[in-house]
Structure 1
Amino acid sequence: MSNPRRNRSELIRALVVDDEADIRELLDMTLARMGLAADSAATLAEAKRLLAAGEYQICLTDMRLPDGDGLELVRYVGEQCPELPVAVITAHGSMGNAVAALKAGAFDYLSKPVSLEQLRVLVRSALDLPSGVSHGGGGEAHQLLGASPAVEQVRHLIDRVGRSQAPVYISGESGSGKELAARLIHERSSRAERPFVPVNCGAIPGNLVESEFFGYRKGAFTGADSDRSGFFQAADGGTLFLDEVADLPLTMQVKLLRAIQEKRVRKVGATTEEAVDVRIICATHQNLRALVEQGAFRQDLFYRLNVIEIRMPALRECREDIPLLTDHVLGRLAKAAGGKLPDMTAAARRALEAYPFPGNVRELENTLERAMALLVDDRIDVADLGLATESTLAVESPQPGQASLQDYLDAMERQAILDALEKTRFNRTAAARLLGITFRSLRYRMQRLGLND
């Protein structure tokens, strides 16, 4: 990285904060071999004094200090030196402290006894962080378009969490751009030059999940003719995006939790574990908290994944962005087709802005792609969009005798819940009271009937 024999003032500088002299010496020696000059502090007060007096490129701090704790230093750095990555050293098995540190803004964490190899990987990742933040929305292929407050908030969060190694949970309806947000987080991180591996958890057969995630050894099972790496190995050094993580079987959830905590995986049929350096970003359109309460998703895994949550807004929540998105999609489609950008009538634009888009941005893209494909002249009108009418969007209740009894009852229950939510302006507590049921019962019924947030 640098020549350790260079003048100390020319070296990359690190701040080590720990009340144990031998730990400080070990970290100092390791950093020196990497070409870094380390200043040491034994207390929180001394660390703050050094931070005020000089500039550092990385800070390593113990969680327990004589006059405070590592979380206080993480918050102080976040306020005074927001560009400085801080890694927290926690006691072995103290995952609660590690998660708390990540939530407070720490770049990453290390568990005692400190693995020098993991320390080197962490330091390299911290020093590879891009300086400053980018608000441009990524490259041409990956852009988060929109000027609405909801989109601006998401863009700000993406810029912030990109500079961390913390796991991210992205929630939102289908078609709202969860994978796009994950890719943008990856592109803003120190891992941008490493792989981004997207995985649809719901598309993997249950009996193959473990081997797909962790890989397998030759002869581990029938058909295993050679060694094969899994998703974790493919994403080593980069980002693993677990889409629809709620679909993972409970048995796999246990193994995923261990892999995240230990940063090691074991191939199916192997006798030893191997270290992996992977950042986890997950997403689902389902309500993970409700699934935890129902016992369908492990609580400990939920808290480990949900360190930082980003909620992708539905398109109906940022209608002012529809004209910008429309022009962008039409421009992209026209360029791909090598044709002329079509005009769109004012009536068609009003129709798009008024439409609720239950399929969100993905539905908008499909609508415009269909209109372009069926275009007769160079002008898109309302009829060309093929938007569903209000009557077809409404919940159609089957009549007795036209459907099974369960389908009929489900339709009646769904309509009653929707009516109660509309009357209470989607206040679920008030809606539950109006329906004469508990809030928890309402949440369960909404989950069962597919009435997600």
Structure 2
Amino acid sequence: MKSQILAVDDDPALLKLLSMRLDLEGYAVTEASSGEEALAKMAGYSPHLVITDVSMGGMDGLALFDILKKSHPALPVIILTAHASISHAVDAMRQGVFGYLTKPFEAEALLAEVKRALGQSGGSSANEFDWKTAIVTRNTQMEAVLNEARMIAVQDASVLITGASGTGKELMAQAIHRISPRSDEPFTAINCGAIPENLLESELFGHVKGAFTGAAKDHKGLFVATQGGTLFLDEIGDMPLPLQVKLLRVLQEKAVRPVGALHITSIDVRIVSATHRDLEKEIAEGRFREDLYYRLNVVNLCLPGLNERSDDIPLLAKHFLFQLAEKYGKNINGFAPDAMEILLTASWPGNIRQLLNVVEKVVALSTTEIITASLIQRALQRQTDDSVSLDEAKKDFERDYLIRLMKMTQGNVAHAAKIAKRNRSEFYTLLRRHNLEPGQFKDDSD
């Protein structure tokens, strides 16, 4: 797969020349003649690199960079500048621009800077074809997360993946491993909330024969078994406090002492962890260690829920359909239009995991080549009685309540806060927690 580059310049001749030079080197180039056009194209496109002129009519290159820095923080940007604007370019470098080239520039200088930028972002990785094949998406928000994952994968920093249950956190961890320099070494996953504390310690750090009742032989533990690879600690927020202390010591010392052993073993393991919990809240309430949090959360990737990437629902539903039709040996060709409409308008508190479950139910029950709306309705109806965690129920209620308030007040935060009996600052915090903007509820007809 070719590395994708967005080239932005309001001079048609220079833009064409830039595109030709990059195209000859095998890059896939998309052109934009203004900052505004570049942003419009970014709505449905995820480049590995942006190259933009500084001086353009309307939105200039620095204004474009400011917007991209907020929406795509991992996306490298190279700016093209005339001698007169070098000071602006230097200022931009301090703010995070990857690099700048002074016009006129040599082709060799351009290509060297492009290669350097793509090397940082991972855009030219040899695993580009297959590292993220398990993550089915065309959603721009999800693509932005994948771009960040690609960039940080080539480094060795610890990664904390956050998001609601069922959003694909383990798939993201596997994708990071596949494109990392550790890809030829083991990837091991363990759910920290599903194993009792005493067994979890043994599973992670190992034990020697006779260390406790039932320890009939030595067990090296996952840290040692994953030597050189990636250890995925799922639901890290559920790890008991005493074990958090021991994990922190292992991460600090890069060595483990098996239960009952006198010796220590050096380890070389990359840690990727995940949780559906708000760890900052857990820290404030004394259930999670702050020092461990900073060890694990060097880089944070936050996965959107399925309702935030509804444009992926048809893609995911069809992907699951064909997989499951093959599994069950059925000849099913797709969804009826009204069946797909139900999927698109349904609420998905269980996210992708819930969608997979619904599709599996209808495939198992289907007797026709097309999945009907009635089958979808039955599968969803059966799930209405399924229990969800108290935290998820509270979160869903809070979001729905805020949306109703904001619609009722047409985006008037002061009025909505008064109804909710909260001060404005506290109410803004609630809106940010659920990614709600007051402007989206304002009546534009006035």
Per-residue CA distance 1:374-415 (angstroms, 9 max, x = gap): 1122221111112546x959999xxxxxxxxxx9xxx99996
Q: Compared with structure 1, are the counterparts of its residues 374 and 185 closer, same or farther at alpha carbon in structure 2 (3 Å cutoff)?
A: same
Q: Give the deviation of 1:340 after TM superposition.
A: 1.7
Matched, 1:295 2:286: yes
Matches within 5 A, 1:149-168: 149-168=140-159
Paired residues, what number?
A: 319
Matched, 1:435 2:420: yes
Structure-2 separation of matches of 1:439 and 1:235:
49
Counterpart in the other structure of 2:38: none
Please report the TM-score for the alignment, with normalisation by the length of structure 2.
0.62
SS, match of residue 326 in structure 2: helix
Structure-2 separation of matches of 1:440 and 1:216:
51
Matched, 1:171 2:162: yes
SS, match of residue 185 in structure 2: coil
Q: Give the alignment's Cα RMSD to 1 decimal.
A: 4.1
Q: Give the deviation of 1:207 after TM superposition.
A: 2.1
Matches within 5 A, 1:243-392: 243-385=234-376, 386-388=378-380
Q: Compared with structure 1, are the counterparts of its residues 226 and 78 closer, same or farther at alpha carbon in structure 2 (3 Å cutoff)?
A: farther
Matched, 1:419 2:421: no
Verify the 8 A CA contact 2:321 2:334 in the aligned structure 1.
no
Verify the 8 A CA contact 2:131 2:178 in the aligned structure 1.
yes
Structure-2 separation of matches of 1:167 and 1:147:
27
Counterpart in the other structure of 1:198: 189
Q: Letter of the aligned partner of 2:195 in structure 1?
A: I
Give structure 2 stretches of 5+ with no counterpart.
1-92, 100-112, 437-446
Q: Letter of the aligned partner of 1:198 in structure 2?
A: A
Verify the 8 A CA contact 2:127 2:178 in the aligned structure 1.
no
SS, match of residue 143 in structure 1: coil
**2:131 corresponds to which of 117, 134, 138:** 138
Verify the 8 A CA contact 1:244 1:283 in the aligned structure 2.
yes
Q: Give the deviation of 1:452 after TM superposition.
A: 12
Q: Letter of the aligned partner of 1:187 in structure 2?
A: R
Q: Letter of the aligned partner of 2:181 in structure 1?
A: S
Structure-1 separation of matches of 2:127 and 2:219:
38
Counterpart in the other structure of 2:60: none
Q: Give the deviation of 1:321 after TM superposition.
A: 1.2
SS, match of residue 180 in structure 1: helix
Q: Give the deviation of 1:434 after TM superposition.
A: 4.7
SS, match of residue 202 in structure 1: coil
SS, match of residue 254 in structure 1: helix
Q: Give the deviation of 1:150 after TM superposition.
A: 1.1
Counterpart in the other structure of 2:233: 242
Per-residue CA distance 1:414-438 (angstroms, 9 max, x = gap): 968852464147x9x9877653358
Q: Compared with structure 1, are the counterparts of its residues 169 and 332 closer, same or farther at alpha carbon in structure 2 (3 Å cutoff)?
A: same
State the 4+ residue runs in structure 1 displaced beyond 6 angstroms: 75-78, 393-396, 411-414, 429-433, 438-443
Verify the 8 A CA contact 1:170 1:312 in the aligned structure 2.
yes
Q: Letter of the aligned partner of 1:268 in structure 2?
A: V
Please report the TM-score for the alignment, with normalisation by the length of structure 1.
0.61
Verify the 8 A CA contact 2:328 2:364 in the aligned structure 1.
no
Counterpart in the other structure of 2:46: none
Structure-1 separation of matches of 2:403 and 2:96:
43
Structure-1 separation of matches of 2:188 and 2:423:
41
Q: Which moved more, 1:249-258 or 1:332-341?
A: 332-341
Q: Give the deviation of 1:266 after TM superposition.
A: 0.6
Q: Letter of the aligned partner of 1:213 in structure 2?
A: L
Counterpart in the other structure of 2:85: none
Per-residue CA distance 1:147-195 (angstroms, 9 max, x = gap): 1111111221121121011111001111110000000000001111111
Verify the 8 A CA contact 1:220 1:269 in the aligned structure 2.
yes
Q: Give the deviation of 1:220 after TM superposition.
A: 1.4
**2:173 corresponds to which of 172, 182, 190:** 182
Q: Letter of the aligned partner of 1:176 in structure 2?
A: T
Structure-1 separation of matches of 2:217 and 2:305:
45
Q: Give the deviation of 1:441 after TM superposition.
A: 9.5
Q: Compared with structure 1, are the counterparts of its residues 420 and 320 closer, same or farther at alpha carbon in structure 2 (3 Å cutoff)?
A: closer
Structure-2 separation of matches of 1:440 and 1:252:
37
Q: Compared with structure 1, are the counterparts of its residues 172 and 416 closer, same or farther at alpha carbon in structure 2 (3 Å cutoff)?
A: closer
Structure-2 separation of matches of 1:154 and 1:76:
18
Structure-1 separation of matches of 2:251 and 2:294:
12
SS, match of residue 164 in structure 1: coil
Identity value in percent = 38
SS, match of residue 309 in structure 1: strand
Structure-1 separation of matches of 2:233 and 2:386:
33
Q: Letter of the aligned partner of 1:343 in structure 2?
A: G
SS, match of residue 203 in structure 1: coil
Q: Which moved more, 1:212-221 or 1:333-342?
A: 333-342
Give structure 1 stretches of 5+ with no counterpart.
1-72, 86-104, 106-128, 397-406, 446-450
Q: Letter of the aligned partner of 1:363 in structure 2?
A: Q
Q: Letter of the aligned partner of 1:151 in structure 2?
A: M
